[in-house]
Amino acid sequence: MPYVFLLVAIFAEVTVTSALKTCNGFTRPLPSVIVILGYCLSFYCLSIAVRSIPLGPAYALWCGIGMVLIVAVGYYYYRQAVDLPGLVGVALIMAGVIMLNLFSKMAVR
């Protein structure tokens, strides 16, 4: 069950981070409220997940998967180009997340 909360935290964070452009520097009330509530949901679910999942691996998954999804949203939804150095950087971060979660003694087995 903690991984369900972690997934909800990840998808909430990706959703509201993607919506940051729509709140226009928090000048538009409805998108701004959605962003704030979404971050609250994300952090709440992350806090529930880290009760059972060690903090390092949980945060690495939250950040790493979130970053990959944000890059994908930026590419597909906002038409932001991703160049080779960007892709290599994302791949290196994901390699670190995978190493931490599969091979580190910090991870729950």
Reading the block at residue 100, the tokens are: 């931490």
Report if residue 28 sits inside a domain: yes
Q: What pLDDT is stored for residue 5 in this prediction?
A: 98
pLDDT per 10-residue tile (average), the chain, 109 residues: 96 94 91 94 97 90 93 92 93 89 70
Q: What pLDDT is stored for residue 104 in this prediction?
A: 77
Range of the domain at 34: 2-103
CB-based contacts of 10, cutoff 8 Å, min separation 6: 42, 61, 62, 65, 66, 69
- Domain count of the chain? 1
Report if residue 60 sits inside a domain: yes
What pTM, to 2 d.p., does this model score? 0.85
Which residue in 9, 37, 34 sits closest to 23, CA to CA? 34
CA distance 14 to 80: 16
